[in-house]
Structure formats: C-alpha cells, structure tokens
A = this chain, B = another copy of it.
Amino acid sequence: MSAENMFSHKRLPSMDTKSKILNAAEAAIVKGGYGAFSFRDIAEEVGIKSASVHYHYPTKADLVVAVMVRFTHDFQAALPDPNTPDFDAKRTLNAFIDGFRAQNVEHHNMSICTMLTADKHQLSDVVSQSLADFYQVKLDWLTSVFKRLEGGTETAAQNRAGQFIAALHGASVLVQATGEPAWYEKVASSWRQPAD
C-alpha cells in the first residue's frame, strides 16, 4: 500500500446496516465525542429506529468499541510496512502529516482518538482499552518508521514517535481552539522531511 493511501480508507455509500451504523458513530464521535451523540442520532442518520441500533450493538460501549476496532484495523491495514527494502521513510512521514491534516484539520475536527481520550473518564474499561490499543499500534509503527529514518536505539525512536504524535495531535487542538487551520502546518513543518 502506498504512503498516500494511509488515511484514505473511505467507505462506499451503500453498505450493510452494521457498517452504516459504525460510519455514523465514527463521524459522531469525531464531531462531539462519546457523550455528544445518542442512539437516536445514529438511527436517524442510518435510516432506522434506535431500537434497531441496539439490536446490532446492545450498549453504547459495544458500539464505540466496534468503531475503534474497525478504525484500528483499517488504520493498520493502510500503513506501509517499514521493514521492506523499498520502504521510503521520508515520503511516508510526509504522507502521514498530509493524511492527518486531510482527515482531521481540513474537516474542522479532531481525530477520533483525541476525542475519546478527552472523554476517558466516562468510558468503560473495554472502550478505554480499545483506545489504548489504537495508540499502541500507531506508536509501534511510527517507532519503526523513525528507526528507519534516523537510526539510533529503539528507545530513541520510540521517543521520537511520541514527540511526533504529540505534535500532530497538539496541532489539531490548536487549530480547533483558535479556528486558524494555518497552525497545523506551522507545527507540522518542523517534522517534514526534505526530498532526497
């Protein structure tokens, strides 16, 4: 999978109900977090009744876990493998920066993981775990990328991965809070890799 496709795992308009529910829930979480959407909101978006949403996902925790599991899976599937000979670390990192902006900043949103993290105190353990799992996947992959990019120890690469994630997430907070999308590039620019 090419680096440009990392964030472009779009869904087709016509899908089964379960997927439509997950799509609606994912969009709702991105927009307002865990507490800001209801089963009725999701139901209306999908075109069914709220009881039918409960049929597919009995509780809200079930629903949100399912969203995070799918999100993590799709995210992971879209990432190029840093352990292949033709892996281009610089291009991949730049593509990641662009992808993050395209998915979050340009849609005037924060990432689904930042939103759920903010709501962590009201999440059940299963949901918290699915969130932590996603961050682990992301951190592990970025650690490999930075190891390819800069060499050094595992710990050093891990720290760089954390700093990188923090920068992008923090940048999207800044954009949201100030309403000035330009902040994203100002923050991300220090992480952009020059072309060979």
Contacts and interface: CB of A to CB of B under 8 A. Distances in A.
Interface stretch (A31-39, A57-65, A79-87): A31-39
Nearest to A139: B178
Number of copies of this protein chain within its complex = 2
A166 interface: yes
B171 A183 contact: no
Interface stretch (A1-9, A91-99, A118-126): A118-126
A50 interface: no
A168 interface: yes
A36 to B, nearest CB: 6
A169 B117 CA distance: 12
Question: Which of A31, A163, A170 has the most CB atoms of chain B within a 10 A radius of its CB?
Answer: A170
Interface string A147-172: 00000000000110011011111110
A133 to B, nearest CB: 10
A136 interface: yes
A38 to B, nearest CB: 11
Given A166-B187, A179-B132, A187-B163, A122 B32 contact: yes
22 contacts: A31-B121, A32-B121, A32-B122, A33-B35, A113-B177, A116-B177, A117-B173, A117-B176, A117-B177, A118-B119, A118-B173, A118-B176, A132-B179, A159-B186, A159-B187, A162-B187, A163-B186, A163-B187, A166-B173, A169-B169, A170-B170, A170-B173
Given A166-B169, A169-B173, A170-B171, 20 more contacts: A31-B121, A33-B33, A36-B119, A36-B121, A116-B177, A118-B176, A120-B177, A131-B177, A135-B178, A158-B186, A162-B174, A162-B187, A165-B170, A166-B166, A166-B167, A166-B170, A166-B183, A166-B187, A169-B174, A170-B173
